[in-house]
Amino acid sequence: MIQMDYVSTRGGVEAIKASEAIRLGIAGDGGLFTPQEIPQYSPQELQVLFRYNYHDLATQILSRFLSDYDSSDLQKMVRAAYFYPDKFDDPEVTPIRILSGKRYLLDLWHGPTCAFKDLALQLLPHLMTKASQLVNDHNEIVILVATSGDTGKAALEGFKNVPGTQIVVFFPEQGVSEIQRLQMVTQEGNNTHVVSVHGNFDDAQSGVKQIFGDQGLAEKLSQNNLAFSSANSINWGRLAPQIVYYFYGYSLLCRKGAIQTGDKVNIAVPTGNFGNILAAYIAKRMGLPVHKLICASNANNVLTDFIKSGCYDRNRKFYTTISPSMDILISSNLERLLYYFSEGESQWVKDWMNQLKVSGCYQVNGLTAEKIKQQFYGGYASEAQTIAQIRKVYQEDQAIIDPHTAVGIEVYDQYRKESGDLTPVLIASTASPFKFNSSVLGALGEQVTGVNEFLLLEKLEKKAGFKIPASLAELAGKAVRHREVCQKEEMGAVVEKILGIK
Ligand SMILES: *Cc1c(COP(=O)(O)O)cnc(C)c1O
């Protein structure tokens, strides 16, 4: 097995091993760790991979990226993370639903918290604690998370009661769904801390980034045998597991006879931080036959403009939408894409990220913009279009989808209309509709205002024709365990208080 080392997108640190990159989360120069090379599969190797079950496929792909992990260890971790039926409630882990018009939903929400983040965050704690052993680090790990709703809960579930870890989650007080909020404030576990922040997701994310960059605080932690790490998708340990399901989804299409092995597919992804779609791009670079990557945004359409023009400009109105996990104006993982497209010119990436920090915008050069446009289509769905799409898919395909997935389908439909490209498409279905009861039922014309959340769950169950996920049904009987609220300026102090190092 070839050793895979990791470098920073900003070029300011020495290459390190995967375990070190996962343990650190973010590079010391502010950049994101990325593998020095992207591994490749030949068509012959792919033929073999496409016969694997999810666990074996994940072990194989991850072992290419995480070369300093023992592959039998990886296999154990993968089995524990994606165990059926305890962890995932579908034996295929990420099954497919068929819509009309060669559109296939890749359902990524069968894990314990009902969003795609589980695919990464059920595995990350295993990768992280193993990384501590591999790098011989005896500090207690403090996972800091800023969440737009789904990451926080998935990280809490992944890390709860994991020895040697504490987890602190900040969520924006406005802008998560009622189910998402309940999932977090009722979180159990002896090492879990949940705080709501006055502000939006970007405020929470900036606050967390600031805490990560605070040298004084890092020093204080280290004196107390503590060290920060990140469970946001800036951590490579979160991104790598997400590559797997694109290969698996493709293999399911082959098994169902929807495509022949080797045929191209398009992939459409409802996008916020650019993590999930970046994983699809990496799958393509590894040899998965993919034609176009469709990057779907909601009203916060900063990525749509970027893909069309090469100009990234976050100086715009922030919208709170019914697809809250995509209400993001700073898409952190785009930095990795820029690195890949600028031929390893980390100086460019550094300059762009610096401009983003200082003035909120940057313009990539024409060649880079052109290369990105060849691979990606960017589009967005308004709130009205998202709602109409939920209704349309229900009427035409008898499928119930959540608002994020609806954004993905809507933008894909726009793409197909514009381009006439009829290649079969895998559309990432990123959350269970049950997480967004009132938006989904409202879109279907049901009366929702003033109706109890748990009655809504039951109402939706009748329409969906599949059961309320057990973890959501249970919320009704759970006590609120986390009540802390803070201003965004207070986040650092709150962390110190929680850790008892103030
Ligand atoms: C996180 C999330 C997204 C956005 O994914 P990114 O990796 O941040 O682009 C989309 N939909 C849902 C339901 C999510 O939880």
Supply the DSSP string of 72-137, one letter for each residue: HHHHHHHHHHT-TTTT-SSTTSS-EEEETTTEEEEE---STTSBTHHHHHTTHHHHHHHHHHHTT-
- Tell me the pLDDT of the chain averaged across its residues: 96
> Which of 271, 282, 405, 440 maximizes ligand 1 atoms within 8 Å of its Cβ, making it the mutation to test the pocket?
271
193 lines ligand 1 (CB under 6 A): no
Parse the chain into domains and list their residue ranges.
96-115+237-439
- 123 vs 234, higher pLDDT: 123
310 lines ligand 1 (CB under 6 A): no
Supply the DSSP string of 149-175, one letter for each residue: SHHHHHHHHHHTT-TTEEEEEEEESSS
CA–centroid distance, residue 276 to ligand 1 (Å)? 7
Amino acid letter for position 429: S
CATH architecture of 96-115+237-439: 3-Layer(aba) Sandwich (3.40)
379 lines ligand 1 (CB under 6 A): no
233 lines ligand 1 (CB under 6 A): yes
CA–centroid distance, residue 74 to ligand 1 (Å)? 25
Q: What is the distance of C-alpha 3 from the center of its chain?
A: 26
> Looking at the annotation, which residues are catalytic?
117
Whether residue 344 is predicted with pLDDT greater than 80 in this model: the reply is no
The atom of ligand 1 lying closest to the CA of 270 is 10
pLDDT tens digits, 232-268? 888 999 999 999 999 999 999 999 999 999 999 999 9
The answer to whether the pTM exceeds 0.85 is yes
CA–centroid distance, residue 327 to ligand 1 (Å)? 9
Residue 148 pLDDT: 82
> Which of 230, 273, 323, 435 maximizes ligand 1 atoms within 8 Å of its Cβ, making it the mutation to test the pocket?
273
435 lines ligand 1 (CB under 6 A): no
CA–centroid distance, residue 197 to ligand 1 (Å)? 20
- Structural tokens at position 197: 């922040």
pLDDT tens digits, 158-177? 999 999 999 999 999 987 88
232 lines ligand 1 (CB under 6 A): no
Residue 1 pLDDT: 62
273 lines ligand 1 (CB under 6 A): yes
pLDDT tens digits, 29-67? 989 999 999 999 999 999 999 999 999 999 999 999 999
115 lines ligand 1 (CB under 6 A): yes
pLDDT tens digits, 374-388? 999 999 999 999 999
Residues in the chain: 502
Nearest CA to ligand 1 atom 1: 325
Average pLDDT over residues 310-327: 94
- Structural tokens at position 432: 């269970």
Give the SS3 label for residue 363.
Answer: strand
Q: What is the 3-state secondary structure (H, E, C) of 247-279?
A: HHHHHHHHHCCCCCCCCCEEEEEECCCCHHHHH
Task: Calculate what percentage of the chain has a pLDDT beyond 90.
Answer: 92
Nearest Cα to Cα of residue 67 among 15, 3, 130: 3
